[in-house]
Chains A and B, each alone.
Chain A
Amino acid sequence: MSRHYDVIVIGTGPAGLSAATLLTKMGLNVLALDEQQRPGGQIYRNVEGAGEARLNLFGPDYSVGLELVNEFRAANVNYEGGASVWQVEADGRICYSKDGKSSRISANYIIAATGAMERPVPIEGWTLPGVMGAGAANNLAKEAGLTPKGKVVLAGSGPLLLLEASILLKKGVEIAAILETTDLIPPADSVTKLPQALMGWKLLYKGTTMLWELQKAGIPHYRGVRNIRALGADALSGVEATVKGETLNFDADLLLLHFGVIPNTHIFRQAGCQMVWDEKLRYWYPSCDSWGRTNFEKIFAAGDGCRVHGAVAARHKGTLAALEIACCLGMIPESERDDLAEPVLKALRQDNLPRPFIDAMYAPKPSHFTFENETVLCRCENVTVGDVRKVLDEGVRELNEVKIITRCGMGPCQGRMCGPALAEIVGEYLSLEPDQAGLLVVRPPLKPIPLSEVAAMDLGDGGTDGGNWLLDKK
């Protein structure tokens, strides 16, 4: 039996939570799905189960999440956790897997609020046990109250790297070093953006306090770091890097990598949404209007999935998508939509004030990445940077061709972990911008699921397109 909803919301981070709550309150039949077992998304992960100590540790920015989740619960939204969406179609149908069973359902509108992920940057040794994303340590702390034991090195770039360092510091973890690839001297354009950023001073204040605390604690903190390597035979034992031509060495039990955050776009790409390349921030995002409508009438994007603007902006973007959909479904007239949207747009603009400064400070530069031939690029299929350069030497010129020949991007993660760097490597080789080198095609199922589960799926009356629905229609 196929089910139909007014709106399906994919993802229950701040964007999905605010959208689903508002639409349900307006009387619409909404289903919110998230592959995590508990609502909250990345930033408010497991906020309901946090307890006082964890709420204190992560501060008011985290506790806000509790209000959002409580409102979501109070509004009684149809919600399924542990539900992985593995196919989205432009006509409003989706397939998802939960508890080993897949279902195909439909809606008049879909809001994809799938958030962001850390930019994966391959370094020598990053497949060794003991090398993790800094976001992973953050997630473990929020979800499970886990703290690393032993010596920790943090490496990469961006405010979240420092945020993670300051949380570890508060928890009494031994931080052996912070290795930032960010340049020693801030880029000139960041300075011109500072006055505007000062109008959104709260965030900057938070950042400066964080830096000050790290400095006070005497943690070795280097900028302009290059050639970061994870050392070890079967597991991480140390970290090496160069600063101004000098080689540094640290013993380490855990290396946390973070190179900024990029939109999680697999759903949009699989659905066939028009994608745009952001030259400055070096990531792809789905093209959409100010309500979040993509080039498909029925598919909306909200939150960090359509450009990374942070949790507060994500919540506002969720509200805007909900207002437009409510208007399209005849729940509110255009005038009311506009009245309700006005303060949200204003808050969004206010929240965005410091963004250009932060983006200019931490924008990734190709010169920050050093991809070496021996480094494993594709973790799933064990393809090295050298393997890719070899097929480029042989005349291959496009990302998807590289994928077919080398298997880079063909494993279970579907290029999530290698795609961005693959584009940089191919682009660098061909002296092109990565967008001109192509974008890896994402095929259903978005997430590997057993064929037996697909076979057992009830297509219901949604299955008008016969047996070829699993095929990529592009």
Chain B
Amino acid sequence: MLKHSTTSTAEFKQDQAPAETVSVLLDGEKVDLPKGISIAAGLLSIGEIISRISPSAHKPRSPHCLMGVCYECLMEIDGVERQACMTDPEEGMVINRHLDSKGEDA
């Protein structure tokens, strides 16, 4: 598990182990995410609650709405800023949250 999420104690567990997973590169490390659920949900299921560093407040945020409204789950997915709660993971995807940045527009 990655270290970034240690600032928050909020965690979710998946009721059932995922039937299938896909491997993605998350902030440069290989992780397996459940297939068939959004990237945001998948990340929460492996303890990754931080979705991004707010570019204006320079502070960590977690997904807030999980329905496409708040844009707190914006992360760089295959080179484009996308809503992780509206995107499914695919094998080999490259996801960057730029958590070590100070939240400047990446």
Contact = CB atoms under 8 A, between A and B. Distances in A.
Interface of A: 35-37, 42, 46, 49, 51, 53-54, 82, 84, 100, 117-118, 120, 127, 129-133, 135-136, 139-140, 143-150, 171, 234-237, 253-254, 264, 376, 379-382, 411-413, 416-417, 448, 450
B64 interface: yes
Given A37-B86, A130-B8, A148-B10, 18 more contacts: A42-B67, A129-B10, A130-B10, A130-B49, A130-B62, A135-B65, A136-B67, A139-B66, A140-B44, A143-B38, A144-B14, A146-B41, A147-B13, A147-B14, A149-B13, A150-B9, A380-B56, A417-B64
B9 to A, nearest CB: 5
Per DSSP, chain B at the interface is loop
A138 to B, nearest CB: 9
A443 to B, nearest CB: 15
B10 A133 contact: no
A234 B60 contact: yes
B101 interface: no
Contacts of A147: 12-15
Contacts, number: 152
A445 B68 CA distance: 15
A130 B56 CA distance: 19
Interface string B14-25: 111000000000
Interface in B8-66: 8-16, 34, 36-38, 41-42, 44-45, 49-50, 54, 56-57, 59-66
A32 B65 CA distance: 23
A139 B72 contact: no
Given A135-B66, A448-B81, A127 B88 contact: no
A35 B71 contact: no
A187 B86 CA distance: 39
Interface residues of B, number: 43
A376 B65 contact: no
Contacts of B57: 127, 376, 382
Contacts of B70: 120, 133, 379, 413, 416-417
A171 B14 CA distance: 12
A117 B85 CA distance: 15
A145 B44 CA distance: 11
Contacts of B41: 140, 143-144, 146
A133 B61 CA distance: 13
B95 interface: no
A450 B80 contact: yes
Given A129-B62, A149-B11, A381-B56, A416 B69 contact: yes
Contacts of B13: 146-147, 149
B103 to A, nearest CB: 10
A75 B56 CA distance: 47
B14 A145 contact: yes
22 contacts: A51-B16, A54-B15, A130-B10, A131-B62, A131-B64, A132-B65, A132-B66, A133-B64, A139-B66, A140-B12, A144-B37, A144-B41, A147-B12, A149-B11, A150-B9, A150-B10, A235-B7, A235-B9, A380-B71, A413-B69, A416-B69, A417-B69
A36 B62 contact: no
A147 B14 CA distance: 6
A148 B74 contact: no
Nearest to A149: B11
Listed residue (B38, B50, B80) with the most chain A CB atoms within 10 angstroms of its CB: B38
